[in-house]
């Protein structure tokens, strides 16, 4: 059964071929018109030679483009379109065929303009965890449907945009915006923008990247994790001489940090760390030497930190815990004073007793 079926199938295919082949060759012999290359691609302002062939007479072309003949033969004519300064121009080819019938064919030239300028908008000083828009501009490029814009951070691809649905053939500027969240390594990894105009296979592939400089200023801002104030006996060892120390933990950038010491509500000193160039997150200790007085006993010291990256961000502020100012000298002074008073009182009492005893004894 299966063998018989296969035989019949073969027969049907053979018969179909036998009947349609002559029809195809007749169609071939009939009017034909060909334009070569089939998908012409040319840079804006450039030239292109097109070959129009047909088995008909009086091959002619109609177009708004300027053209010069570039050869002909019995069944073909070539033209050089010397300056293609229209976007997506059409060329109509026609010829007179058998029995007075005319044949027409149209070709559309794809006109491109390679991307010459690709730029990233400058990035602000970035704060970790915050979202920022990265904007890439590709200037004067066509056709946009063949353009791909890629945003990269280091070697990592952040965002890729294509424009297949863009129908306007004219050159224009393209803006691609992508939102990124600032991460800890943003000050090291650079952001770049790449534009690729792919005219293959008929034309070339053009690639252009944004220049190196415009994005390197991006810097991470880390508010301090902790602000600790500490009181230590001065290394000079002098009585009442102390160092107020303010430890600012894991902060960046140091250059925008201001550390202020307070004794109660009294502002002692404000230090700006402008000379610190380190961009990475770091710990920094600011030392303020002070001379305590017995009157300071029980007062509280605080350390106040401001991280000012304005105008990009509101300044960040942090205050340490309150540290009670307790000088070791305070106790010693109290003890010394107390014992002095005690000694004095003892001596006085002694004198009084002696006087009374002596006076009484003397009067007897």
Ligand X SMILES: *[C@@H]1O[C@H](CO)[C@@H](O)[C@H](O)[C@H]1NC(C)=O
| Interaction site with ligand X (CB under 6 A) | 41, 51, 53, 71, 73, 76, 78, 110, 145-146, 164, 198-200, 202-203, 249-250, 255-256, 275-276, 282-283, 308-310
Shortest distance (Å) from residue 301 CB to ligand X: 20
Shortest distance (Å) from residue 113 CB to ligand X: 13
For 299, the token pair is 């007062």
Q: Are strands 220-221 and 126-127 parallel, antiparallel or unpaired?
A: parallel
Name which of 73 and 294 has its Cβ closer to ligand X.
Answer: 73
For 33, the token pair is 């018109």
Name which of 234 and 255 has its Cβ closer to ligand X.
Answer: 255
Name which of 163 and 240 has its Cβ closer to ligand X.
Answer: 163
**56-59: which pairs have CB atoms within 8 A and are 24 or more residues apart?**
56/31, 56/95, 56/96, 56/97, 56/98, 56/103, 57/95, 57/96, 57/97, 58/95, 58/96, 59/93, 59/94, 59/95
Name which of 250 and 267 has its Cβ closer to ligand X.
Answer: 250
Shortest distance (Å) from residue 337 CB to ligand X: 38
Beta-bridged to residue 335, according to DSSP, are none
Phi and psi at 65, nearest 5°, equal: -80, 150
Shortest distance (Å) from residue 43 CB to ligand X: 12
For 65, the token pair is 């483009």
Name which of 146 and 192 has its Cβ closer to ligand X.
Answer: 146
Shortest distance (Å) from residue 99 CB to ligand X: 24
C-beta separation of 319 from 303 below 8 A: yes
For residue 25, CA distances in Å to 13, 19, 30, 96, 100 come to 18, 11, 8, 21, 22
Give the Cα-Cα-Cα angle 160, 43, 82 (nearest 5 degrees): 170
Question: In sequence order, which residues have a C-beta less than 8 Å from that of residue 281 and are 6 or more positions away?
Answer: 184, 220, 222, 250, 251, 252
Shortest distance (Å) from residue 53 CB to ligand X: 4
d(CA 80, CA 74): 18
Identify which of 205, 209, 244, 210 has the alpha carbon closest to the alpha carbon of residue 228: 244
Name which of 51 and 135 has its Cβ closer to ligand X.
Answer: 51
d(CA 28, CA 34): 12
Name which of 142 and 152 has its Cβ closer to ligand X.
Answer: 142
C-beta separation of 243 from 287 below 8 A: yes
Shortest distance (Å) from residue 216 CB to ligand X: 13
Name which of 63 and 110 has its Cβ closer to ligand X.
Answer: 110
Shortest distance (Å) from residue 251 CB to ligand X: 10
């Amino acid at each position: 059964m299966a063998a018989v079926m296969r035989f019949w199938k073969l027969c049907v295919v053979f018969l179909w071929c036998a009947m349609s082949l002559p029809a195809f060759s007749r169609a071939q012999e009939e009017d034909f018109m060909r334009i070569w290359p089939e998908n012409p691609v040319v840079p804006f302002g450039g030239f292109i030679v097109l070959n129009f062939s047909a088995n008909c007479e009086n091959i002619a072309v109609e177009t708004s483009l300027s053209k010069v003949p570039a050869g002909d033969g019995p069944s073909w004519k070539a033209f050089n379109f010397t300056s293609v300064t229209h976007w997506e121009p059409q060329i109509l080819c026609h010829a007179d065929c058998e029995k007075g019938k005319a044949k027409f064919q149209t070709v559309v030239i794809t006109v491109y303009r390679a991307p010459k300028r690709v730029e990233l908008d400058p990035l602000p000083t970035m704060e970790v965890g915050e979202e920022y828009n990265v904007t890439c501009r590709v200037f004067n490029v066509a056709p946009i449907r063949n353009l791909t814009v890629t945003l990269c951070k280091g070697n990592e691809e952040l965002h890729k945009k294509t424009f297949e649905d863009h129908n306007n053939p004219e050159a224009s500027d393209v803006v691609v915006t992508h939102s990124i969240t600032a991460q800890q390594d943003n000050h090291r990894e650079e952001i770049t923008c790449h534009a690729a105009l792919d005219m293959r296979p008929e034309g070339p592939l053009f690639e252009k990247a944004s220049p190196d400089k415009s994005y390197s200023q991006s810097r991470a801002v880390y508010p301090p994790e902790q602000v600790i104030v500490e009181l230590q006996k001065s290394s000079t060892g002098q009585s009442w001489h102390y160092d107020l120390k303010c430890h600012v933990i894991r902060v960046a950038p140091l250059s925008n940090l201001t550390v202020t010491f307070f004794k109660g509500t009294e502002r002692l000193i404000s230090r700006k760390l402008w000379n610190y160039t380190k961009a990475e997150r770091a710990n920094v200790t600011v030392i303020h030497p002070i001379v305590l007085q017995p009157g300071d006993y029980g007062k509280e010291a605080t350390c106040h930190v401001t991280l000012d990256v304005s105008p990009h961000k509101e300044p960040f502020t942090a205050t340490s815990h309150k540290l009670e100012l307790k000088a070791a000298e305070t106790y010693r002074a109290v003890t010394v004073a107390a014992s002095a008073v005690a000694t004095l009182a003892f001596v006085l009492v002694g004198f009084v007793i002696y006087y009374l005893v002596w006076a009484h004894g003397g009067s007897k």
